[in-house]
Amino acid sequence: MQILGNGWRWALFLALIFAGRTVAMAGQDEAARVDGQADEQILLMREGGWCWYQDPRALIQNGKLLVGGVSGVNGDVKVSVYDLEAGQDLGVVVLHPRFQADDHNVPAFYARPDGSVLAMYAKHGNEPLHYYRISDTADYTQWGEEQVFDHGRWDPATGVTYMNLHYLSAEKRLYGFFRDGRTFNPFFITSTDHGRTWDERTHFIADEVDGRHRPYPRYTRKGPDAVGFCFTEAHPRDFGTSIYYAEYRDGHFSRASGEPIKDLVKDGPLLTSEADVVFLGSGEGGRGGLLSARESAWTCAIATDAEGRPHLGYTLYKSNSDNRFRMAFWDGERWVDREVAYAGKCLYERESSYTGLMALDPARPTSVYISSDVDPFTGKDSGGPHEIYHAEVGPQDDISTIDWTPITTGSSERNLRPMLVVGGGYKVLLWLHGPWSTYTDYRSDAVGRVLERP
């Protein structure tokens, strides 16, 4: 009886230990699971969101993954720090508490030569201020005091938004591209000390559509001396937008072919009609309310391949329940453009051209990730939320030949806005998982999956 009693106590002791381990593992799995997919997804940031007109929104520096986000609950501007080598979450740092609950305010990053990281962010056109902080050179959970660049000395009434950071080493100059609130046009400021101080506010692209319209650009660095960018002439809600492309180096604009267009200082900002036409939209006016203009395109993704040729991803509006993904690339002589997938329904009616979006692998742009709530191949409604898919898209492929493989399945919440970040031999797929109602009302978490290691 005594033996049985001791055995019972020993069994109970082991059971309690095992139960404790199970609870601990369950806690760990919460950060590694999305809808039951164990050991693949990593939870990087709760209550984080991002728009897609700021870059880089994530980077890898010294084996650490930094991911920016803005809370849709309280407006905190945040950065998640994850040790890729150790597989360890180092925490989330709040760069600016209660800034503004708006996905447009996500920080853009720049890896500085001394190992530190610059984060730059702004409100959604509400004030003429850019905010920025610089991290410690080794510990990315430690950041210096917040600095402010005030555009008000040029135009006190303007607001700014959409920060993009690209360094051109041939000029030894860091460019900060953004949208100006008075003109709604892309401008830039520059820094010669890797983001400690800023100056030289310059008008970059000018729209030509009658009225007050906003070109939407996506930027990518082309080697050490150039920036490639694709853009529209307006918002697709207001105009049947087209997709354009041009390059900028040493103060001059050029086409994808290398043909010069003009000098920025002498001739002024680039006009949409002066750039390459990649896709021609309807050119019709907006229809008001909850509809986009007929046959209107919107920039989505951009990358450059190993030969220096640009690849573009964009969406095309057919109806609120039918958006499409398209891709184009420069083959050395012409633009090759085609439809590659069904993007499904709009995220919400006020922004009827908002989709789950797509991402191109910056190291190999033919590797493509999309978010869709329909079968990407047929357009048939999946009956569930947006899922992430992957495909290799060859130069001859179009929607009839591409095999989309699901990355997420059976999700209970939306999986949106994928992006790829590479560095130090690592490649990481990131996306947003969770409820998404509007750009100021969302409860998404930033999650990711490590695809490649050194």
List, for residues 12-60, the tens digit of each pLDDT value: 333 433 333 333 333 333 333 334 333 378 999 999 999 999 999 999 9
* pLDDT on residue 19: 38
241 and 169 within one domain: no
**What DSSP element (H or E) covers 27?**
helix 2-30
* pLDDT on residue 288: 86
Q: What is the mean pLDDT of residues 243-264?
A: 98
Supply the mean pLDDT for the chain. Answer: 91
Quick check: is 20 in a domain?
A: no
271 and 169 within one domain: no
135 and 89 within one domain: yes
Quick check: is 33 in a domain?
A: no
Higher per-residue pLDDT: 260 or 30: 260
275 and 394 within one domain: yes
432 and 379 within one domain: no
433 and 325 within one domain: no
442 and 338 within one domain: no
Quick check: is 11 in a domain?
A: no
Q: What is the mean pLDDT of residues 170-175?
A: 96
Quick check: is 54 in a domain?
A: yes
Quick check: is 7 in a domain?
A: no
329 and 183 within one domain: no
Quick check: is 399 in a domain?
A: yes
CB 105 within 8 A of CB 121: yes
Which residue is associated with the tokens 């573009």? 312
Helix, strand, or coil (residue 22): helix
**What DSSP element (H or E) covers 228?**
strand 226-231
Instruction: Indicate if the pLDDT at residue 258 is higher than 70.
Output: yes
241 and 92 within one domain: no
Q: Which of 6-15, 33-42, 262-271 has the lowest mean pLDDT?
A: 6-15
Quick check: is 365 in a domain?
A: yes
How many domains, the chain? 2
Structural domain containing residue 184: 43-139+164-189+420-454
Q: For 333-338, which contacts have Cβ atoms below 8 Å and span 24 or more sequence positions?
A: 333/257, 335/245, 335/256, 335/276, 335/278, 336/395, 337/278, 337/279, 338/397, 338/398, 338/399
439 and 334 within one domain: no
Q: Of the candidates 329, 324, 366, 367, which has an alpha carbon nearest to the alpha carbon of residue 345?
A: 324
444 and 379 within one domain: no
Quick check: is 233 in a domain?
A: yes
454 and 368 within one domain: no
What residues does 36 pair with on adjacent strands? none
The strand order across the sheet containing 108-111 reads 108-111, 117-121, 129-134, 147-150
Higher per-residue pLDDT: 156 or 214: 214
